[in-house]
Structure 1
Amino acid sequence: MTTAAEVLARCAELDRYSAHPTHLERVYLSPQHAAANAAVADWMEKAGLRTWQDAAGNQLGRREGREPGLPALLIGSHLDTVPDAGSYDGMLGVVMAVAVAERLGDRISDLPFAVEVVGFSDEEGTRFGTALMGSRAAAGTWDEDWWELRDKSGTTLYSAFREFGLDPRRVGEAARRPGELVGYLEAHIEQGPYLEAADASLGHVTTIAGARRFKLSVVGEARHAGGTPYPRRRDALVGAAEAITAIERLARASDCIATVGRIEVMPGAVNVIPGRADFSLDLRAESDQDRDAMWEAMSAEIERACAARRLEVRVVETHRAPSMRCAPWLTDAVVQGIRATGDANPMGLWSRAGHDGMAIGVVTDIAMLFVRCFDGISHHPAEAVREVDVAAGLDALEHAVLAVAKGMA
């Protein structure tokens, strides 16, 4: 039986499959993606699963239930990473799912569903800039416009598919029909500090945040830094700074999360007043209604501040993902699993981070198990989990699968 220590060792083994010798980066349709899939497929086979790679590069394994061909309870997470990543975001959930499939042993043959484990191929969107491509393919919501997306070297997604050995014309074969699935369970590090603050190993997710992303451009006039008096200035950077400050102030006073992660100033000379400033905005909330109301408030305040400086504001929305509520009946199974570890009152959290469940939830019910992580650190090499918490997570996930079966009996 795979232990928590072995799960952590397997996560460390996956660290070997990186595009860089000094830090972890594993992106979609890369040689490292192929190597990680092969390693996970080997662990799946050792756990008694029949394995395959689907038409979008997701790695899967399956064991039949009490009769062949039953709909499957899908368990897993993702195998790709952000640049300079930690060892557990995504990978822990995949390796835990393999371990739980092994721990279930012969009991799987008594279940009213098959058990499938998935390692999704592209949750982060690091290479082509569009997140959730692996799970979107599985959900049947692949966007044909993606084929012309290019990575930083200029390679199109279409070409990357072919180089990886996949046929772009067959990507639709990765799509799952609702009748093929019972539900989707995902274990994931919390990526936040709330479980640690509560001294709790595990929690359950109530909702995955709905997100919107924007590119905002503040446009003024580039002029000589010495020769232009303040009343004549239309400084785009100062306007952008006021906008960013307003974004933080409004978000802090609400339950929304807003982040400006990138800013670029043009022309970018030390002796020229900035004529344009482009910056990003990532806006998240527990509900789409709260998120959208916050955007309206932010947009109005940014417009007012920039108009007072005779600056133009241009906005392009680059991403929109609806919030995804976890199914009560499946969440109840996760709660039962956590209680089986000795936590009588499991903590419920809404996930500020996005997950594959946002995509796969279009075709089946979802639920998520959070595992405590050190200081809430994620998307960073300092990402860390404790063996005792992983052990509790394995027990909880195993019990959750059995609770799903009991509920269907």
Structure 2
Amino acid sequence: MAWTLDQLNAATPAQALEALDGVYEHSPWIAEQALAQRPFRSLAHLKHALAHAVRTASTEAQLGLIRAHPELAGKAMVAKSLTAESTNEQSKAGLTQCTPEEFARIQQLNADYNARFGFPFILAVRGPRGAGLNKQQIIDTFARRLDNHPEFEVAEALRNIHRIAEIRLNDKFAAEPVLGNDVWDWHEKLAEHSDPGFAEKGQLTVTYLTDAHRACAQRISHWMRDCGFDEVEVDAVGNVVGRYRAATPGAKYLMTGSHYDTVRNGGKYDGRLGIFVPMACVRELHRAGKRLPFGIEVIAFAEEEGQRYKATFLGSGALIGHFNPAWLDQKDADGVTMRAAMQHAGLCIDDIAKLQRDPAQYLGFIEVHIEQGPVLNELDLPLGVVTSINGGVRFVGEMIGTASHAGTTPMDRRRDAAVAVAELALYIEQRAAQDGDSVGTIGLLNVPGGSINVVPGRCQFSLDLRAPTDPQRDALVRDVLDHLGQIAARRGLRYTLEESMRAAAAPSAPALQHHWERAVDHLGVPVFRMPSGAGHDAMKLHEIMPQAMLFVRGENSGISHNPLESTTNNDMQLAVDAFTQVLHQLAEEQQP
């Protein structure tokens, strides 16, 4: 029989410890420490307490926990000496039914991994959906992680142990993340659509107004109707707009959503998570026959990534009157203009100006988004409340020195353009770190016509400088440009520099940010505040209405814009629950 949190909170220490037996493999000390934090407000609270016990343990204790786990398809499985939990997990993954070739491959990987790291390979084989990875996915992950740095791999092993524990707790408490599963499944189905040239390789790429893009729009429209939205349309730029009306006519709307286009060979969750989470919330309202004092407008933005055309944030920009008519004459790699693509898709270009929203009709804009970074993953936290979307400035430049013979030019007489840019890169690394939350990158570095035996006379480079507030960003830019001038003067070089982009920071509206904080706290999860280093649709809506964002932890060290981008059904469930809480809070505020 499944346990309940009330039973666990009321149990004696011995009973509670017995209830959590097997959650962490052969390591009762974790449950002992976590149980000292009773009473638990939620299963998420319990999970965090357990993870925190591991996080604050000594390195020796952490390694002991890792080594307490069996190898995958290893000696313990063959000898049938696995714990009941491990037996169930490895069986569901098909590891008890390996072909001789698969078994030999896994055995070799086990040997190589143990030789490199000194502990067994740990993988939550039931996967991010909880239904189980297949054998090929397990083997591919095994091989990929062999290349990790040892310190990183210790952390990755512990993160997988926490996921194993989370699934085991779900089983013990009969806690199925039903809505998280639905959100997960929507992502999987939408990822069936991909552009030619990528679909054949099993890669996800959906760029503006391709066949795959339009298929995604139709599928999202269909799901919105199934969820009970009162109005669903594809607007003049390809945004899919679903509206769920308020309890009374004429009430304001809460706007939410994110983008459904992707980068090339990208992940399934960037943007799309912010569409499906509110869709699930609206569906539950519809099923309950419930209306709120405000309407909900969910928008699947057609274009945010700027992949097919150089028109980043086209979808959300159109809603604030920032559609640039000059974009219509841009051509893609095949020579197709945006105008022609829009006409082919049946969009009415003349109606684009009508898309501009009146901010007086809205409570604001909120957005759920996968973090796209490692912070939440490293802290073992499922959710993060965004305080600001970083402002940024980009430059393209060229350092100019003198090309000379690499063998005959003494080191103290060189005018090396590449070394100067390298020195600048090191300064940016040090200067941005001083702020704690500023970032700086030289992402492009090119020596035109470079040769192995020539001191570089020219070096082309880019600068990308970001910070949570405009004053902090401007101070970073000022210091970097000053140092650039000093480097050039000291080395006898000159340079050119052109600003190519400037975006203002978008601080979260305090009231909406507080709603997210209250929602996260209600779930029993620590409230963690963080800036967003990446740009999002919310920063466009910020120009006309209040906005605030919620981040959801990414798996695989939070990697994004990559096929390895992932999150779990449990974290998706928490995002749905947090969004629902925000709706309840706003509804209470709007009551007369």
TM-score, length of structure 2 as denominator length: 0.65
* Cα separation, 2, equivalents of 1:226 and 1:233: 11
Aligned equivalent of 1:67, options 232, 248, 258: 248
> Counterpart in 2 of 1:34?
214
**1:130 Cα shift?**
4.0
**Counterpart residue type for residue 262 of structure 1:** L
**1:8 Cα shift?**
0.6
> Counterpart in 1 of 2:344?
163
> Counterpart in 2 of 1:331?
513
Compared with structure 1, are the counterparts of its residues 158 and 226 closer, same or farther at alpha carbon in structure 2 (3 Å cutoff)? Answer: farther
Where in structure 1 do 4 or more consecutive aligned residues deviate above 6 Å? none
Cα pair 2:178 2:573 within 8 Å, conserved: no
Check if 1:209 corresponds to 2:390. Answer: yes
> Counterpart in 1 of 2:225?
45
1:2-401 aligned within 5 A: 3-19=179-195, 20-21=198-199, 22=201, 23-49=203-229, 50-105=231-286, 110-223=291-404, 233-255=414-436, 256-343=438-525, 345-374=526-555, 375-401=557-583
**Counterpart residue type for residue 278 of structure 1:** Q
Cα pair 2:285 2:291 within 8 Å, conserved: no
**Counterpart residue type for residue 299 of structure 1:** L
What are the superposed Cα offsets for residues 262-319 of structure 1, whole Å, 9 maximum, x if unpaired?
A: 2222123445443322222221111111111111111111121122233221111111
* Cα separation, 1, equivalents of 2:285 and 2:538: 23
* Cα separation, 2, equivalents of 1:226 and 1:198: 50
* Cα separation, 1, equivalents of 2:417 and 2:532: 35
Secondary structure, aligned partner of 1:353: coil
Greater shift after overlay, 144-153 or 128-137? 144-153
Greater shift after overlay, 316-325 or 125-134? 125-134
**1:24 Cα shift?**
1.4
Secondary structure, aligned partner of 1:242: helix
> Counterpart in 1 of 2:589?
407
Cα pair 1:2 1:99 within 8 Å, conserved: no
Cα pair 1:75 1:118 within 8 Å, conserved: yes
**Counterpart residue type for residue 247 of structure 2:** R
* Cα separation, 2, equivalents of 1:153 and 1:218: 34
Secondary structure, aligned partner of 1:370: strand
What are the superposed Cα offsets for residues 203-247 of structure 1, whole Å, 9 maximum, x if unpaired?
A: 211111111111121123445556766566433222222222222
Cα pair 1:108 1:115 within 8 Å, conserved: no
* Cα separation, 2, equivalents of 1:347 and 1:231: 50
Compared with structure 1, are the counterparts of its residues 402 and 261 closer, same or farther at alpha carbon in structure 2 (3 Å cutoff)? Answer: same
**Counterpart residue type for residue 179 of structure 1:** A
**Counterpart residue type for residue 4 of structure 1:** G
Task: Work out which structure has the larger RCO, using CA pairs closer than 8 Å and 6 or more positions apart in sequence.
Answer: 1
**1:383 Cα shift?**
1.3
Compared with structure 1, are the counterparts of its residues 307 and 144 closer, same or farther at alpha carbon in structure 2 (3 Å cutoff)? Answer: farther
**Counterpart residue type for residue 183 of structure 2:** V
* Cα separation, 1, equivalents of 2:277 and 2:303: 19
**Counterpart residue type for residue 548 of structure 2:** A
Cα root mean square deviation, aligned: 2.3
Cα pair 1:222 1:235 within 8 Å, conserved: yes
What are the superposed Cα offsets for residues 326-381 of structure 1, whole Å, 9 maximum, x if unpaired?
A: 112222222232233223x4222111121110001112211212111122222221
**1:156 Cα shift?**
3.8
Cα pair 1:65 1:108 within 8 Å, conserved: no
Paired positions, count: 408
Cα pair 2:245 2:291 within 8 Å, conserved: no
* Cα separation, 2, equivalents of 1:153 and 1:235: 39
Cα pair 2:424 2:487 within 8 Å, conserved: yes
**Counterpart residue type for residue 543 of structure 2:** V
Cα pair 2:469 2:507 within 8 Å, conserved: no
Cα pair 2:304 2:537 within 8 Å, conserved: yes
Of all paired residues, the percent bearing the same amino acid is 36
Compared with structure 1, are the counterparts of its residues 158 and 219 closer, same or farther at alpha carbon in structure 2 (3 Å cutoff)? Answer: farther
Compared with structure 1, are the counterparts of its residues 266 and 153 closer, same or farther at alpha carbon in structure 2 (3 Å cutoff)? Answer: farther
* Cα separation, 2, equivalents of 1:213 and 1:108: 49
Cα pair 1:63 1:108 within 8 Å, conserved: no
* Cα separation, 1, equivalents of 2:458 and 2:335: 26
**1:40 Cα shift?**
0.7
Secondary structure, aligned partner of 1:250: helix
* Cα separation, 1, equivalents of 2:584 and 2:569: 23
Greater shift after overlay, 330-339 or 375-384? 330-339
Greater percentage in helix: 2
**Counterpart residue type for residue 47 of structure 1:** C
Gaps of 5+ in 1: none
Cα pair 1:327 1:366 within 8 Å, conserved: yes
Gaps of 5+ in 2: 1-176
Compared with structure 1, are the counterparts of its residues 203 and 229 closer, same or farther at alpha carbon in structure 2 (3 Å cutoff)? Answer: closer
Greater percentage in strand: 1
Cα pair 1:66 1:110 within 8 Å, conserved: yes
Compared with structure 1, are the counterparts of its residues 313 and 107 closer, same or farther at alpha carbon in structure 2 (3 Å cutoff)? Answer: farther
* Cα separation, 2, equivalents of 1:88 and 1:149: 28
Greater shift after overlay, 159-168 or 97-106? 159-168
Compared with structure 1, are the counterparts of its residues 157 and 214 closer, same or farther at alpha carbon in structure 2 (3 Å cutoff)? Answer: farther
TM-score, length of structure 1 as denominator length: 0.92
**Counterpart residue type for residue 41 of structure 1:** S
Cα pair 2:516 2:578 within 8 Å, conserved: yes
Cα pair 1:63 1:116 within 8 Å, conserved: yes
Compared with structure 1, are the counterparts of its residues 270 and 304 closer, same or farther at alpha carbon in structure 2 (3 Å cutoff)? Answer: same
**Counterpart residue type for residue 522 of structure 2:** A
Greater shift after overlay, 130-139 or 163-172? 163-172
Cα pair 2:468 2:507 within 8 Å, conserved: no
* Cα separation, 2, equivalents of 1:7 and 1:134: 22
